[in-house]
Amino acid sequence: MARKPTSKAAKTGGGAKQARKVTVVARRPSSSGGGGSRSSSSSTAQDSMGDAFIKLLQSPLVAELVAVAATAALASLAEHGFTSGREGSRGSRAGKAVKEAGKAAAAAVGRRLSNEIEEIRNAAKESKGGARA
């Protein structure tokens, strides 16, 4: 929201725009005292967790899950749009469509993850069985 001009600005420029200086200060945790300080080992652990999370997001499985969710949501939206008719207001129909699309996406991701986990379990059983023989 725009701020109201001050009395000084109203006197000088009649509401004309004036250049404002903004100072940005970055806060860094202090190395001594205080509860907000971090040791170098916890900082390193957080960096490695961040790197692991980034690698997870870049993995093919995550990309495939996003694609599955998007496809399911799009299919749900298309189905809802073609079969909904003229009931209710447009806003409530759109809200219902989005809610159903979210449910469809979550269900599709759940099915895909359960399939992946089942394949991993089967591969683990086969590797254990093959090692004993």
pLDDT of residue 133: 47
Q: Is the pLDDT of residue 21 over 70?
A: no
Tell me the average pLDDT across 51-74: 91
Name the band, by pLDDT with cuts 50, 70 and 90, for residue 94: confident
Phi and psi based region of residue 30 (left: phi greater than 0; alpha: psi -120 to 50; beta: remaining): beta
Q: Is the pLDDT of residue 86 over 90?
A: no
> Percentage of the chain with pLDDT > 70?
57
pTM: 0.51
Helix axes of 60-83 and 90-132: crossing angle, nearest 10 degrees: 140
